[in-house]
Structure 1
Amino acid sequence: MKRVEVIRLEKGQDGTFGVLRLDGRVLCVTLEPPDKGNKRDVSCIPAGEYVCRRVESPTFGTTFEVTDVPNRSHILFHQGNVVSDTHGCVLLGTRFGTLGKERGVLQSRNAFHAFLSRCGDAEGFGFVINEHCQEG
């Protein structure tokens, strides 16, 4: 089973920024919402270990859902650039940057397709979120 890890590097009002490793190798950068106590649609999820499963999202197509998050569901990996695009999910990008005046992740479509390609036909994987971040 594949193993995906997000290492959070920075948390603040602009969002929660990190890097994603797949089977031990850095693949892309991530953006999640700020930490708002695990509130649905507006908060990053608590650090810890989870299982992800392949799903077909009506909005995002084939992707993976983070399961077993207390009091939460429909947490997906998907495309997007700024924190308002997250809806409580994990956005993928090739690098950090700004769009207008907002910090975010760039080239999200490329990063998301690379992620799906590297996951292959896997029906699921182990997922770990580690925090090595400073408040920003």
Structure 2
Amino acid sequence: MSNTHTLYLRRKYGEKGTNGNITFKGEHICHTIELPDRDNLRRLSCIPEGRYKLEKRTYPKNGEQIGIPNVLGREAILIHAANNAERDLRGCIAPVTTLTGEGTGDDSRKALDKLKALVYSLWDMEAEVFLVIRG
């Protein structure tokens, strides 16, 4: 049997942003902020709901990040630090420690470190890691 693990992102859609909550095996990992749902418009919308395989991506500017490849019609979607979706995100997902409003939160770096520690530990065990996004 293959070694797969699934994280769940449950979303709440708002006019100014999309807020969510990532859980693993029923346990809260972090909150998330994203752009509002604008029909998957590149750089302007959160990504569509679905099941995505997470992959390690390395970027010159940001170093190693958790990538979300194979998003229909999109590229370079990452999970990275940001505290304000409208200002800092172009379709990516940002973990935050506390939600402060629609598409805004705080202590994103801390939340990202927690999420990365979990995902990287699963990758270290040769696991495939998936993210299931639901409304």
The TM-score bracket by the shorter chain reads 0.7 to 0.9
State the AA in 2 paired with 1:41. R
Cα distance, 1:103 vs structure 2: 5.4
More strand by share: 1
More helix by share: 2
C-alpha distance in structure 2 between counterparts of 1:60 and 1:18, whole Å: 23
State the AA in 2 paired with 1:50. Y
Does 1:90 pair with 2:98?
no
Identity among equivalent pairs (%): 30
What SS class does the counterpart of residue 32 from structure 2 fall into? Answer: strand
TM (norm. structure 2) is 0.86
C-alpha distance in structure 2 between counterparts of 1:23 and 1:56, whole Å: 27
RMSD: 1.7
- Among residues 24, 27, 30, which one is paired with 2:26 in the alignment? 24
State the AA in 2 paired with 1:85. D
TM (norm. structure 1) is 0.85
8 A contact 1:2–1:119 mirrored in 2: no
Deviations 1:59-104 (A, max 9, x none): 3321111122111111100000001211110000111115xxx850
Cα distance, 1:51 vs structure 2: 1.0
Cα distance, 1:15 vs structure 2: 0.5
Deviations 1:35-60 (A, max 9, x none): 11101111011111111111112333
- Among residues 61, 66, 78, which one is paired with 1:64 in the alignment? 66
C-alpha distance in structure 2 between counterparts of 1:17 and 1:114, whole Å: 18
Cα distance, 1:120 vs structure 2: 2.5
- Within 5 Å, which residues of 2 pair with 1:1-136? 1-8=4-11, 10-83=12-85, 84-97=87-100, 104-121=104-121, 122=123, 124-131=128-135
C-alpha distance in structure 2 between counterparts of 1:5 and 1:103, whole Å: 18
C-alpha distance in structure 2 between counterparts of 1:14 and 1:59, whole Å: 28
What SS class does the counterpart of residue 67 from structure 1 fall into? Answer: coil
Any gaps of 5 or more consecutive residues in structure 2? none
